Amino acid sequence: MSSDIDLEFEVNRRPIRLDVRPNETLAAVLRNRLALTGTKVSCDAQVCGTCTVLVDGRPVSSCTFLAADARGRRVTSVEGLGDAETGHLSHVQQAFVERAAFQCGYCTPGFLVSATALLAEVPHPTREQVVEYLEGNICRCTGYEAIVSAVLDAARVGTDDGAATP
């Protein structure tokens, strides 16, 4: 067996140091080692977007992203979108609440993270841009309508979600 890797990185604005196996995915490390179970895995093959997290502000599928490749980088999961200290939700999270832009909620963390990345990149997207950007995230419950509307709402309210700034 290959030896473990000493991994130092930042997760949700906190420094983390731990030993990971070379083949351990970022999703597994977040869920099983750091108790950040908000990140969910579905297709496990980079198709559905459920496990999306930000690495240095860019969305990646944590189910296939090796934890070792996060060395020295900033990782943001759903738990890092709002302000954990004050309990304040980000604009995207708040818009999802108001639009009820989720049902079962399993895909929701991935959508929230992707939408946050979009608004960091394009603060005032058109509906078409939202639809294009979120094509990599699958939702089976909502029919997407409420999700797209929520992201547009969040863009209107503002894009000062700290976590989204690359």
Question: Which residues make up the interface to other proteins (CB under 8 A)?
Answer: 31, 36-45, 47-48, 50, 77-79, 81-82, 89, 93, 96-98, 100, 102-109, 112, 130-132, 134-135, 137-148
Whole-number Å distance between alpha carbons of 47 and 36: 22
18/131 with CB nearer other proteins: 131
137 vs 159, beta carbon nearer other proteins = 137
Least Å distance between CB 122 and other proteins?
A: 15
C-beta of 7 vs 113, nearer to other proteins:
113
CB of residue 104 to other proteins, shortest distance in Å: 3
| Cβ at position 73, least distance to other proteins in Å | 20
Output the CA torsion sign for 100, 111, 122, 26: positive
- Rounded to a whole number, what is the distance in angstroms from the first to the last CA of the chain? 36
Contact predicate 143/103, CB 8 Å: no
Distance (Å, whole) CA 28 – CA 49: 15
